[in-house]
Every structure is written in C-alpha cells, then in structure tokens.
Amino acid sequence: MNKKRIWQTTIAIVACTAVFTAIKFSQQANEKATTRLLASKSIPQAPDYTDTTMWYIAENDTLGSGADVFYVVSTWEEDWITADGDTCHYADVWNPKHRERMSREMKKAAEYMADGNRFYAPYYRHTTIDAWMMNNEDTIYHRTRPSMADVCDAFDHFQKQRDHSRPLIIAGFSQGAMAVVELLKHIDDDTYSQLAAAYVMGYKVAAEDTVECKHIRAAKGEADTGVTICYNTVKDVKYAKPLLTNTCMAINPVNWHTDDTPATLHDTITVTLSTTHRVLVVSGYSGDEYRPYRGFINVGDIHSCEPWLYSQCLKQNMKVRSREWRKAQIES
C-alpha cells in the first residue's frame, strides 16, 4: 500500500471514529437529559395501567371478526401550576379534569374506530402544547420522553392482555401520532407480525425513522398490511408546518393513492396529495369549525380535522386492512 493510500485510509478511520463518538455522545446526552427530566418534582405521578380508570375502552366486536385498535390521543393541556407552585409541562392522568378532556377525543374516535372492533385508549402524561409552541425539535424530543414512555408502557400492558390471533391497529392524532411512530420503534418483530396497519394522523414520519426502524413501511394502496398511513391537511402548501409535516411518506386517505390524483369527499370537497410537499391540499372545505389556536395550528393548515374529516374513509379502511390481514394468516 503506497503512502497516499495509507494516508487516505487513516483519514477515513479517524472520520468514522469521530462520527461514532459524536453519535455516542449525543445518545448519552439525551439519556442524561431524560433522566434529569424524569427526576423533576413537577412531573405528575405515573399512570398505573392495571387500573381501569387509566383506560377508555369500547368493545364492540360482537362477531369476533374485527381488530384490536390501540388509539393515542393528541394534546389537551397547557402548562399549569402545581400545588407547590411549580410549572408542569404534562397532563396529570390522576386529575379528573385532565382525564375528562382526553376522553372527549377518545369517545369521538371510538364512534367510528370501535365499530366492529375492540377499542382501547390509554390516558397518558402527554406533553403540554407549550413545548410545541417553541417550534424546537430538541425541546420537543426531551419533553415528550415521559409521554412516550407512558404510551409504550400502556401498549405493553395492552399487548399482554389481548388475543394475538386478532389483527392489531395502532392509531394516533398529532402528539398521539408521534407516539404511533415511537411505538413502531418499540415493538418487537412478533408484535409487528400482528399489525394490520398504523395510522399517523397529523404528524410526520421522518426519513431517519424509516432507517432506524424496519417496522415503518409506507402504505402504497388501500389494502396492504403491516404498513404506516401518514397524512397532513392544508388549504395551500404554503401553510404546511415543517414541525408536523416534514415527512418522507404520505397517502391520500380518500382514494388511497400516493400520486396527485384528486379525490372527492362528501360530494363537495376535493382532496389532492401534493407529491412535492407530501401534504393533502383540500378545496371546497373551509374548516371553520376548527378555530385558530395561538397562531400555531388551524391557520391555513387544518390540523384539527385529521381524525374527523376522513373518519368514514378510515373506518372502512381499517376493516379492509384487518380483513386482508386475516386472509394472509389463513393462506400462510
């Protein structure tokens, strides 16, 4: 080996070592920051998922042919002051008012997701909206670690109790959709084999998520299984918010196309997927029922519509993918 080649090899080794060291340092820093956060007195008591009050459950599968749906709610709380005068950045699952607010979304989601299915939604210490208002990915990542840990704990309890011969559906909206992505990273291969589909509504799947996790595969159509469905809705692409919409995958939940073929919803609404920005652009729909919030959401985007505007499409699609999953089990 000549001197030039030796020198190039040495530089490559040093560069790789530096990269691995930086990754390890970043991981250690994240772990330390999370440990400090979990030790904070301003974090409410953790949920006990053996306690039925920590769940919203609707078991409507009378024929035994449906799916088990695990649903994660979005953000309902703002920063609040504890009895000790501390600012709390998390929902308190032991606070009846906090649970009541979360249950509004759970009940509304169950109205269509629980049709012919078994529906389970855990109350969790979701991170308050104030973290998202900072528009800082690092802050959001660290703040949401306790929240995501709660969801993973809840899912593990749910998975131990349920019948694994039934198709599994995981769904979530906004912060809950973030939790769906985290759950796909959390589950093992055996659990993944039970997955009919995962629905990431109103949040993103980053390219690095798909590199990190082999369980995250983009849906290509209406009936593929073991896939992730991801979408965000805006009135115009200029209103897309990267914090929520900077995704590597998207699909139109009305016609289940991944191209820009327009779809008609409720006879008057046109839904078109922008393949460049990977967001759904709607026309013929104002979304006025979703009021702007602190200039952050529902301002040109229609973030709050995600689980509701397409509810009939999602309801039908859950049945299709569950049926296809069952068919594959029989054929295998």
Under 8 Å between Cβ of 277 and 245 = yes
Under 8 Å between Cβ of 278 and 249 = yes
d(CA 30, CA 8): 33
User: What is the per-residue pLDDT for 332?
Assistant: 79
CATH code, residues 40-331: 3.40.50
d(CA 227, CA 282): 24
Largest CA distance in the chain: 75
d(CA 170, CA 71): 6
Total residue count of the chain as it appears in this document: 332
Report in angstroms the alpha-carbon separations of 284 from 145, 253, 266. Answer: 39, 17, 10
Task: Note the helical H segments in 115-216.
Answer: 129-133, 137-143, 145-161, 175-186, 189-192, 207-212
CA atoms within 13 A on the CB side of 253: 28
User: What is the per-residue pLDDT for 2?
Assistant: 52
User: What is the per-residue pLDDT for 255?
Assistant: 98
Reading the block at residue 160, the tokens are 């131990």
Under 8 Å between Cβ of 141 and 43 = no
d(CA 227, CA 197): 5
Tell me if residue 231 falls in helix, strand or coil.
strand
Under 8 Å between Cβ of 256 and 317 = yes
Global model pTM greater than 0.85 = yes
The pLDDT averaged over each successive group of 10 residues in the chain (332 residues) is 48 44 43 46 92 97 97 98 95 98 98 98 98 96 97 98 98 98 98 98 97 97 98 98 97 98 98 98 96 94 98 98 97 84
User: What is the per-residue pLDDT for 61?
Assistant: 97
For Cα atoms 322, 326, 328, give the angle at the middle one, nearest 5 degrees. 115
